[in-house]
Every structure is written in C-alpha cells, then in structure tokens.
Amino acid sequence: MKARRIVRARGVLALILLGCAALFFVAPDVLAQSSPFGAGTPAPTSSGGIMGWILTEQARFFRSLSAAIREAKADGTAVWGLFWLSFLYGIFHAAGPGHGKAVISAYLLADGSTIPRGIALSALSAIAQAITAIVLVGIAALILGATARAMGEAVRVLELGAYAIIVLFGVMLAWRKGKALIQALSRETAPAGHTHDHSHHHHGHDHVHDEHCGHSHGPEPQELAGKDWLKRGLGAVAAVGLRPCSGAILVLVFTLSQGIFWAGVAATFAMAAGTAITVAAIAILAVGAKGIASRLASGGNGAGAIAVRGLEFTAALGIIAIGVLLFSGLLASERMFPA
Amino acid sequence: MTFRSYLLAAAVAAFTFAFSGGAQAHPHVWITVKSDVLFSPDGKVTALRYVWTFDDMYSAFATQGLDKDNDGKFSRAELAELAEVNVTSLEEFNYFTVAKIGPDTLGFGKPKDYWLEMNKDILSLHFTLPLAQPAAQKDFSVAIFDSSFFVDLSFPEGAKVELVGAPATCTAEAIRPQGADAAASKLTESFFDNLSASAQFGSQFASRIVLRCK
C-alpha cells in the first residue's frame, strides 16, 4: 500500500513539473504585454544570442530580397539568386518564433507521431501557407486590383480564422487527451492486482498502456495504426496554412509591381521549402522529445503512463493557450506599417 | 522514477524552449527618417516635422491598387486617403516617437500637414507632429523607434536635424543607434542580450535627436 502511495506521489510530481514546463512555454508571450505604448503593441521579450542571430539573418535576407527582385527583372538569370535567397529566408524566418511551428510541434507532442509523419505535416503546412499567400495576392491584387489596405483586411480575416481553428483544434485534442489522462489516473487509483479488460479498447488512439508496455519506445503502436493520422493532423495544417506570411505577400506584390509575378510565385514556393525544412527539424525534435519522455516514463508502473498522458494533455492545453493569445491579440503576429 | 520525471520535464522544457521566443519578429518595413524641430516665436519647441521614406518593397505594397487613373503615376490625390489612414493609425503607436524633457514624456496633438508622395517608386510620408503643449528647449530629446520592431526607423548616415525658427544658440544632433553603421540591420547579439521588456529597452535601438541650447 505504501509503495502505491509513493508511485502516486511521483505521478503528481511529474504532472507538476510538466505544468512548469508548460508555463515556461507560454509565459514569455504573456509577459510580453508591458509596452510603453500600452495595449496592442507587444514588446519584444528578452532573448539570447541565438535568437538575436536568427533575427539578424532573417532581416538581412529579407532586406536583400527586393534588390534580388530588381536584378531578376533586369536579367532573367538572376531569378536563381532570388530563389536561393527566398529559400534561405524561409529557413531563417521559420527558425524565429512563430505560431506555425509551435502548433505543429505541440500537436506532435500531444498526439504522438513518427518522424516521417512529422516531416509530412511540416511540409504540408508550409505549402498550404505559400498557396494561401499566392491565391490571396493573385485574386486580390492581380485580378481585383485591391489596395494594400483591403489585402491587409483579408489577411486579418484569415488570421482570425486560423487562430479560431487553433483554439478548436486544441480543445478537441485536450478533450481526447484529458479523457486518456483520467483513464490513466483511475487505473492508478484502482485496487492493486487489477487486471485490465481490453473490451473498451476500441478507440485506438485513446488506448492507455501500462504494465504490459514497459518496453515501449517512442509512439505507441495503436496510436500510429490506421490512416487517420493525416486527418487528425489536418487541423494543425489548416491552422498554420491559413495565415499567409507577411514576407511572402510583400514579395508577391513587389514582383507584381515589377511585372514578374511568376518569379514571386516561384520565390514563395522557395520560401515554403526553406520553412518546411526548419519546421520539420523542430517537428523531429518534438517527436524525439516525446519518444524520450515515453521511454523515461515507461518504468513499468502507472506513474509513467500518467506522466505521458499528462504531457499530452499539457501540450493540448498549450495549443489552446497559443490560439487564445493569438486570437485576442495578446500575442503579436506580424504587423506591417499601420495602414 | 523521480529522477526520470525530472529528466522528462527537462526534455519537454528544452524542447519547448526551441519555440518559446515570444512576440518577436524581424522588420518587414524600413523607414529612413528625416526630422526637423519647429519652434514658436518665443523659442519653445512646438512640433516635429517628419519625412518618412519607405523601402522600395513596402512602397510597392502600400500603393498597390491606388493608381486609379492607371497613368503609372501616383498623384497626391490618389494617395490622400492612404496618408489619412497612416497618420490616423499611427496614433495607436504614438507615432513611433517619444519626446521628452529630461525624464518627462510629452504628449502629442493630432498630426498636421500630412501627405504621401511617390518619387521613382519610393513612397514618402510627410507630416508635422505637434507637441500637445509647446516645450522648453532645455533637455529636450526625441527617440524614434517601434518597440515591437516590426518597423525599422532610422536616420540616414550623416543625417542633420533642421531647427526651424530656433534661437541662434540652439543646435541639434541626430544620433543613430549604435551598430547601425556596422550592419545592414541594427540587430546585434548584444542588442538582444541586453533587451528586456521592462525598462527603456527602446533606448538601445532608437534613433535620437538631442537638442542643445546655450
């Protein structure tokens, strides 16, 4: 009996630690409120040298894009330089903070997956984002002759839609993972010597492993079974893909004004390729972190299962938090000049 | 098992660190700032007269769809509505300007004499930003920056601040942020190391005007 209590206490401790980790994840964004200009103008948060370097590179690549577009206009062969720059910009831009990879990686933490699937979701979301920007500028600027302001308003609507999807997606995930967590907790509190009954295991991905799964490495077989991984991850892809990046829109409109819109379209896909690489790298980290967590927690007792379910549930709550902060405007999204 | 829980939490924390940078972005818009200081006949500072010149990419973006008569040129009338929107929206961002006497921050009135001008595909916003109350010259300073750093505002190299109607004893200095000359961007590692959301972080990348009157 005493041993069981210790196990339970450890499970609780693991949950508290996970909660702290989740706070760490959301806190910098919330703390970013204080600003000399008051609400609506979030201040940059403190950041280490690596993030500073990433931002420097982003700014440098973005700055050189307009010159590359001018060169491409004058000399057709210079488009390759433009594509290469766009690709590098995509890599660095995605390495900076952004909701895209936060949502994708939190999703992968919450709903275990394999590395190839993490890469597939990253690539799909980057391509979707490129297509959104191209369709938006193509229809609004090229066909309708819309103003920057009208495009800005369209982006705002897309953004709010994307943020609403993040919240919904997070709520659905949290509901699923919350149930799994409760299940794991109730097993832990069930009388000793409990032998589990497999008849309720028809929800493959909600399946909770405990004793018999001590050897589990990485994602659990039932979670990965079936073809619905793509369907489940589609919410994440939609949430990321629906919000076009400001850099792509600027490049598209600028190439349009220079009469080489096609080069802007190709450059946008080059950016997406770069973005996909970075987001995929972070997705691999997420899948790896989840794998390590599952392995560490698979100590052959219920506390491990609780810790993993707790991690998944926390990641799902993290997605909700990201969505709510973005939707409410508390977390800054990219803004251009006020217009 | 407790150790494992710690490790697990550490793994999660290390991972989340990878994308928990917060509300940061790199500038998408670059503005070259020209700023003059206007004085009243009795020698007080009354307003800042700005010309903000945008980078070529943003210039093309902002003027998209505004050439109503399709003559390939943007008349002041075609740009009037955008100029109105710009100065109105800028109020929310306090015109990216902090004017002070010593430590005290001064308020602004509504912008006056504003218009946009397109010259060789480069857009400039002209506006005069009056102080809410005319201010004494002593210890008057201005800092120009976007705290969220979506917009990069800087003086060009060798920028001069014109003093209009100032007492002959006054001079003004345009100070570019440190490191601005060294890199294409003002973002340096030390800049980010020192950056804190609390006090005066803007001071590290603001363009400044310092007024001195004998």
Residue closest to A283 by CA, chosen among A112, A97, A57? A112
What is the pLDDT confidence band of residue A19, given thresholds at 50, 70 and 90? very low
What is the pLDDT confidence band of residue A5, given thresholds at 50, 70 and 90? low
CB pairs < 8 Å spanning A and B = 268
A270, A293 Cβ separation under 8 angstroms: no
Using H for helix, E for strand and C for coil, what is the string for A298-311? CCCCHHHHHHHHHH
Is residue B145 classed as helix, strand or coil in its secondary structure? Answer: coil
- Please report residues of B whose CB lies closer than 8 A to that of A149: 82, 85
Start-end of H helices in A138-210: 148-189
CA distance A314 to A293: 13
CA distance B94 to A43: 14
Q: Compute the Cα dihedral for A314, A319, A322, A327 and give only its sign.
A: negative
Residue closest to A294 by CA, chosen among A283, A305, A281? A305
CA distance B202 to A274: 31
Is residue A63 classed as helix, strand or coil in its secondary structure? Answer: helix
Name the residue with higher pLDDT: A226 or A293.
A293
Q: Give pLDDT, residue A6.
A: 53
- Touching B: A residues 86-125, CB under 8 Å: 93, 96-98, 101-102, 105, 109
For B209, the enclosing helix (H) or strand (E) is strand B207-213
Give the Å distances, CA to CA, from A330 to A33, A35, A243, B181, B195: 7, 12, 17, 34, 20
Using H for helix, E for strand and C for coil, what is the string for B42-85? CCCEEEEEEEEEECHHHHHHHHCCCCCCCCCCCCHHHHHHHHHH
pLDDT tens sequence across B56-82: 999 999 998 888 888 888 988 899 999
Confirm or reject contact between A139 and chain B (CB < 8 A): no
Sheet of strand B140-144, all strands in order from the earlier edge strand to the far edge: B104-105, B97-101, B140-144, B207-213, B170-175
Q: Give pLDDT, residue B206.
A: 84
Average pLDDT over all residues of chain A: 75
Confirm or reject contact between A63 and chain B (CB < 8 A): yes
Query: Worst-scoring range by mean pLDDT, A163-167, A278-282, B23-27, B97-101?
Result: B23-27
For B213, the token pair is 């009157």
Q: Give pLDDT, residue B113.
A: 94
CA within 13 Å, CB half, B52: 29
pLDDT tens sequence across A120-149: 999 999 999 999 999 999 999 888 888 888
CA distance A98 to A84: 22
pLDDT tens sequence across B76-117: 889 999 999 999 989 988 999 999 998 889 999 999 999 999
Confirm or reject contact between A156 and chain B (CB < 8 A): no
Average pLDDT over all residues of chain B: 80
pLDDT above 70: percentage of residues in chain A: 69
Considering only CB atoms, B57 lies closest to which of A40, A146, A254, namely: A254
pLDDT tens sequence across A266-277: 999 999 999 999
Q: What is the ipTM of this complex?
A: 0.76
Which candidate in B1, B56, B78, B187 is best for mutational testing of the A interface (most A CBs within 10 A)?
Answer: B1
For B185, the token pair is 């961007």
Which candidate in B7, B31, B61 is best for mutational testing of the A interface (most A CBs within 10 A)?
Answer: B61
Residue closest to A271 by CA, chosen among A77, A65, A107? A65
Considering only CB atoms, A36 lies closest to which of B8, B147, B151, namely: B147
Q: How many residues does chain B have?
A: 214
B26, A64 Cβ separation under 8 angstroms: no
Whether A248 has a pLDDT exceeding 80, the answer reads yes
Q: Give pLDDT, residue B118.
A: 93
- Please report residues of A whose CB lies closer than 8 A to that of B111: none
Q: Give pLDDT, residue B114.
A: 95
Terminal CA-CA length for chain A? 67
Q: Give pLDDT, residue B111.
A: 95
Name the residue with higher pLDDT: A296 or B31.
B31
Query: Worst-scoring range by mean pLDDT, A23-37, A75-89, B160-174?
Result: A23-37
For B36, the enclosing helix (H) or strand (E) is strand B29-39
Name the residue with higher pLDDT: B143 or A189.
B143
A216, A201 Cβ separation under 8 angstroms: no
Whether B131 has a pLDDT exceeding 60, the answer reads yes
Whether A7 has a pLDDT exceeding 70, the answer reads no
Considering only CB atoms, A337 lies closest to which of B23, B151, B191, namely: B151
Query: Worst-scoring range by mean pLDDT, A3-7, A69-73, B32-36?
Result: A3-7
Work out whether strand B151-154 and strand B29-39 pair parallel, antiparallel, or are unpaired: parallel
B1, A303 Cβ separation under 8 angstroms: yes
Q: Give pLDDT, residue B16.
A: 54
CA distance A171 to A320: 6
Strand ranges in A59-206 using DSSP code E only, listed in sequence order? none
pTM for the model stands at: 0.75
Confirm or reject contact between A259 and chain B (CB < 8 A): no
Nearest CA in chain B to A248: B28
